[in-house]
Amino acid sequence: MIAFGSCIVDPAAYIRYARPGIQAAAEPGATVFAFEAVGTICRSNNLLLDAAAARDDLEALVLVDEHVELADPGLCAALREAFADPEVAVVGAMGASGVRSIAWWEGRISRGPVRQRHHDHGGGEVTAHGWAPIEAPPATVDTVDGRLMALSPWAVRTLRFDEELSLGFGHDLDFCLRVREAGRRVVTAPIAAVLHHTLELVPDRDLWVEGHIRFAEKWDGRMPGDAPTEDWKARARRAEAERDAARTLGYSSTSTVDARLAPLERELDALTTSPSWRITRPLRALNRRLKQR
């Protein structure tokens, strides 16, 4: 039995996004664990793992963030195929290899048909991680995005999310690193989903920075391929330079976005301030009223 689990902070979001996707993807007899969130994401996820671990017939547990809408009726078949390899312990819709920090998206991204539906800027839909080159799944990766991850029975019964990561950031990478330390694999699969999320990658910036630091302190020198740092001064100098370069790139990006949009905005402005648009305003108002009836 493939079970589903969500920890719920915002019930309306769960009802609107996660639940319909789970209902469409779940097989008859599947158990859906929908629990109120308790404490951090790690503690909440562990509650789901505890509940799922008790099920003797468990084939996998799919952790679904309340803002993620599964859009894949073939999800269970895709998961069974991925878990057919007994070494696979975690399957995700989005992940990356070459990951150095909780900013896993700086690695080589592997992702299936995942779209991001946003409500900012009038609403719309963009391709998730649309700024980066994407490799198609399946792929063995360092980590998957914790908003949609499936765990094997071994992972459910053997590992727990680290509740000492009290800010929660990087809980998914931390879990995947421990899976790999235990000799198991983390993979992506071609799972379709819709992320209902603001376009901003990191809304809680100050907290995220603190979470990044705590994670780095935990794993420093232990990440696969990492050597212990011998010259912290050189590392700090380089990081500070790269930080300033990245910030400056951000300023350039802002100017570029504004510059690229300026011709479109001028065109729209010219249209909507034209005499013919203005003299037909009563017509449009009338049309709106008729439609409202």
Partner 1 sequence: MIAFGTSITKPEVFRRSAEPGIRRAAEPGSQVLAGPATGSIFHSYNAILDRAAQLEDLEALVLVHQDTELVDADLCAKVRDALADPQVGIVGCVGAIGVRSIAWWEASVTLASFINRYEEHGGGDLHSFSWAWDDAPPYAHTGEVETLDGFLLVLSPWAVREIRFDEGLGDFHGYDLDFCLQVREAGRKVVTADLRAIHHRPLQMVPDPERWVTAHVAVAEKWDGRMPGIGTGPGSWRERALRAEAERDLALAIVHWKALEETARTAAAQHAIAETRGSLSWRLTAPLRRLSRTAA
CB of 109 to partner 1, least distance (A): 11
Q: Is 242 helix (H, G, I), strand (E, B) or coil?
A: helix
Instruction: Single out the segment in contact with partner 1 by CB under 8 A; choices: 26-34, 69-77, 145-153, 275-283.
Output: 275-283
Instruction: Single out the segment in contact with partner 1 by CB under 8 A; choices: 5-13, 85-93, 146-154, 254-262.
Output: 254-262
CA gap 36, 47 in Å, rounded: 10
Q: Contacts with partner 1: how many residues (CB under 8 A)?
A: 75
Question: Which positions from 39 through 98 interact with partner 1, judged by CB under 8 A?
Answer: none
**Structural contact between residues 69 and 103, judged by C-beta atoms closer than 8 angstroms:** no
**Residue 207 binding partner 1, by CB under 8 A:** no
CA atoms within 13 A on the CB side of 289: 6
Task: Name which position in 86, 199, 222, 224 contacts partner 1 (CB under 8 A).
Answer: 199
Question: Which positions from 127 through 156 interact with partner 1, judged by CB under 8 A?
Answer: 129-132
CB of 271 to partner 1, least distance (A): 5
Task: Name which position in 1, 32, 71, 103 contacts partner 1 (CB under 8 A).
Answer: 103
Q: Extract the tokens encoding 175.
A: 């879990």
**Residue 164 binding partner 1, by CB under 8 A:** no
Task: Name which position in 116, 143, 152, 188 contacts partner 1 (CB under 8 A).
Answer: 116
Q: Is the dihedral of CA 101, 104, 109, 111 positive or negative?
A: positive
Nearest to 171 by CA among 42, 259, 257: 42
CA gap 218, 226 in Å, rounded: 13
Which amino acid, residue 262?
Answer: A
**Residue 280 binding partner 1, by CB under 8 A:** yes
- Cα-based angle 148, 49, 147 (whole degrees, multiple of 5): 15
**E strand or H helix at 36:** strand 32-36
* Residue (43 or 100) nearer to partner 1, CB: 100
* Residue (38 or 271) nearer to partner 1, CB: 271
* Residue (84 or 264) nearer to partner 1, CB: 264
CA gap 172, 73 in Å, rounded: 25
**Structural contact between residues 142 and 95, judged by C-beta atoms closer than 8 angstroms:** yes
**Residue 290 binding partner 1, by CB under 8 A:** no
* Residue (87 or 244) nearer to partner 1, CB: 244
The torsion angles phi and psi of 178, rounded to 5 degrees, stand at -75, -35
**Residue 261 binding partner 1, by CB under 8 A:** yes
**E strand or H helix at 159:** none
**Structural contact between residues 139 and 187, judged by C-beta atoms closer than 8 angstroms:** yes
CB of 23 to partner 1, least distance (A): 29
Which amino acid, residue 277?
Answer: W
* Residue (23 or 287) nearer to partner 1, CB: 287
**Residue 222 binding partner 1, by CB under 8 A:** no
**Residue 245 binding partner 1, by CB under 8 A:** yes
CB of 31 to partner 1, least distance (A): 36
Task: Name which position in 38, 50, 201, 224 contacts partner 1 (CB under 8 A).
Answer: 201
**Residue 267 binding partner 1, by CB under 8 A:** yes
CA-to-CA dists, residue 273 to 173, 267, 288, angstroms: 52, 10, 19
CB of 263 to partner 1, least distance (A): 5
